[in-house]
Amino acid sequence: MSDFRGKLVILDFFGTSCVPCVKALPKMDSLQTKFKNDLQVILVTYESKDVVNEFLDRLKRREDINLIFSTGDTGLSNLFKHSSIPFYVIVGKDGLIKGMPPHEEVNEKNIASLINGIKLNLPAANYEERHVAVAHRAILIDSKSNDDGLVIYHSILTRYLPMLPSGYLNHEYKDTTISARITVMNCNIGTLYQVAYGHFNGDREASFVSWNRVIIETGDSVKLKWNDKEYLTWRLANAFCYDLILPNSFKGDAHDVMKEDLKRLYNYDVKMEKRKTKCLVLRRTCGGDDLVSLGGKEEMNMNAYFIKMQNASWKDMLYWLENKFLQELPLIDETGYDRINLDVNADLTDSKALAKALKPIGIELAEEEREVDMLVIKDKM
């Protein structure tokens, strides 16, 4: 950091498989170019240099990005603790922290003001105060706060907490005083239902219902979905934090308890229903059989711009494709694949671009109607 003394520094904590992080790179590159004499953007990731270099090689086929990357990081992440990305830390020319703002406040106007010495009221500008505030709410976010087994059971709902990130965590535990925990931070009511109607599946963190499998039929949908245009004011009344801890004597799925909590708290009729809806359907065409794996070392690497698989699970890849990248419509698999070899370059958030990349290797991706299990949220009659 001392190499950049005299410049405003933005530490951008990111990941190559984080869609919002990758989509923000052109904006960060544009800021770096515009303020090149007074600003230094540094992309910080725990990922290895090899992983980042492969990502950049493929990214540069699409975008001309010229930013500094800090790979294999542990030091900065320990210094500036966070639980979601992208996460930004702005350090002033004087070496003092000026803020840890959300992505919408990392913009040209604010950067110009900070370069010119204008003090802004950015979130978490005082890092010590931020950590005191978080510590007071440790029962909500910090699993270590329950290491002594003090909390056996609790269920809590709060309004928006400005010092916490937005996101959710859900885990089952063995050989501890608790059996399961579900934590949702600063999310809308719709996301609470997405999490509640997921389930634990044993081999990875719990599933959830993706937005492309949610139908909202209410008179107040603004309370159930994100409002990106007016987010800073919308979140104060419409974002919530929820935390559920269950004792080790509990033998069911914690998600069922969360459903009952939401039923008591909100006036909605919510259930899974079969609905005929437009979907993205995958099927094999001529040549698709060549992708079937004959064995070997398992490898899967995917981010917003490519998929690379060697003897890897097709089902697992589709799970991440639908829930993280290709979120516009439900994804239906009719290929019959199990383990495959695949190397595709495409914008995974763009169904047309992905369909174009898959067609030459024998996979068709087309929009068609199918009957699908959908999470339907209605007003109670």
DSSP state for residue 32 in the 8-state scheme? H
Q: Pick left, alpha or beta for residue 95 (phi over 0 → left; psi -120 to 50 → alpha; otherwise beta).
A: left
CATH topology of domain 2-129: Glutaredoxin (3.40.30)
CA 275 – CA 257 distance, rounded (Å): 26
Whether the predicted pLDDT of 372 surpasses 80: yes
* Strand, helix or coil for residue 110: helix
Structure tokens at 335: 């290929």
pLDDT tens digits for 115-156? 998 888 776 644 443 443 443 344 454 555 555 567 788 899
Contact 338, 314 (CB under 8 A): yes
Please enumerate in sequence order all residues whose Cβ is within 8 A of that of 228, keeping only pairs 6 or more positions apart, or say none: none
CA 375 – CA 193 distance, rounded (Å): 9
Phi, psi of 78, deg, nearest 5:
-70, -35
User: Which percentage of the chain shows pLDDT scores above 70?
Assistant: 90
**pLDDT at residue 130, rounded to an integer:** 43
Whether the predicted pLDDT of 265 surpasses 90: yes
**Cα–Cα–Cα angle for 270, 271, 272, nearest 5°?**
145
In this prediction, residue 65 has a pLDDT band, given cuts at 50, 70 and 90, of confident
Contact 181, 200 (CB under 8 A): no
Sign of CA dihedral 99, 102, 105, 108: positive
**pLDDT at residue 173, rounded to an integer:** 79
Return the higher-pLDDT residue of 303 and 265: 265
In this prediction, residue 17 has a pLDDT band, given cuts at 50, 70 and 90, of confident
Ranges of each domain in the chain: 2-129, 138-270, 275-376
Best-predicted range by mean pLDDT (233-247, 263-277, 288-302): 263-277
User: Which percentage of the chain shows pLDDT scores above 90?
Assistant: 51
**pLDDT at residue 266, rounded to an integer:** 94
